Amino acid sequence: MSRAIGDEFEDLIYSILGDINKTTNSGAKYNNGDFSNHDYIIEAKVKSSFKKFKVVDKELDKLKSQASMRLKDWIYIQRTQDGDQVLMDLGTFSTLWKALHNK
């Protein structure tokens, strides 16, 4: 996969999320996720050779470690041939669900 494809996906995520910090060359330079704010660290990956969503243990472990060091929740977004999927832990999902439904 070319870096350009990954950059395009990150640009799409950035346009969707809006008010969030985008880390340039995050993995290589800063050992940080692609996006972050006060509460979340987010990693976005394109896996064009994957037909369906598949957890890549090394990537997920790294994201969880980064989030833990920064006392943030993590969100992992993956694009495959089947579409775009989001993975997060149940606590994060619960927090977002309650905020969305004002509970």
The residue ranges of every structural domain in the chain are: 3-100
Q: What phi and psi values does residue 86 have, to the nearest 5 degrees? A: -125, 135
Contact 87, 78 (CB under 8 A): yes
Helix, strand, coil share (%) of the chain residues, nearest 5: 45, 25, 35
pLDDT, tens only, 32-63: 789 999 999 999 999 999 999 999 999 999 99
What's CA 102's distance to the chain center, in Å? Answer: 24
C-alpha angle 10-67-22 in degrees, rounded to nearest 5? 25
In the predicted structure, residue 28 carries a pLDDT above the cut 80: no
* pLDDT reported for residue 2: 72
Fold assignment, 3-100? Trna Endonuclease; Chain: A, domain 1 (3.40.1350)
* Per-residue pLDDT at 25: 66
